């Protein structure tokens, strides 16, 4: 009987570990979704108007503006 109880305890501990892993995976998925939503909001509400302004000032396409900003580390003092 004692051996049976020990085996049941081990099985329950294994089940708990599996459940904890599932909880971690779900939490990670929720955090990823939240981060993606924040990135989308940043792009739509902050970066898009900024890049539109850069394009207007420099007279370039959004792709060209990004290339300049990244490759040349340009500023408005360009």
Listed by start position, the domains of the chain span 2-71
Instruction: Count the neighbouring beta carbons within 10 Å of the beta carbon of residue 65.
Output: 21
Scan for tokens 């503006």, then name that residue: 65
DSSP code, position 47: I
**Is 67:55 a contact under the CB 8 Å cutoff?**
no
> Which mean pLDDT values do the consecutive 10-residue runs of the chain (78 residues) have?
93 97 96 95 90 92 89 69
Task: Pick the closest to residue 57 from 73, 43, 49 (CA basis).
Answer: 49
- The pTM assigned to this predicted structure is 0.53
């Amino acid at each position: 009987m004692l051996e049976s109880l020990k085996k049941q305890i081990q099985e329950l501990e294994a089940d708990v570990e599996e459940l904890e892993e599932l909880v971690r995976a779900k939490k990670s998925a929720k955090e990823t979704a939240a981060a993606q939503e924040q990135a989308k909001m940043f792009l739509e509400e902050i970066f898009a108007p900024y890049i539109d302004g850069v394009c207007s000032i420099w007279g370039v396409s959004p792709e060209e503006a990004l290339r300049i900003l990244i490759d040349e580390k340009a500023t408005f003092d360009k």
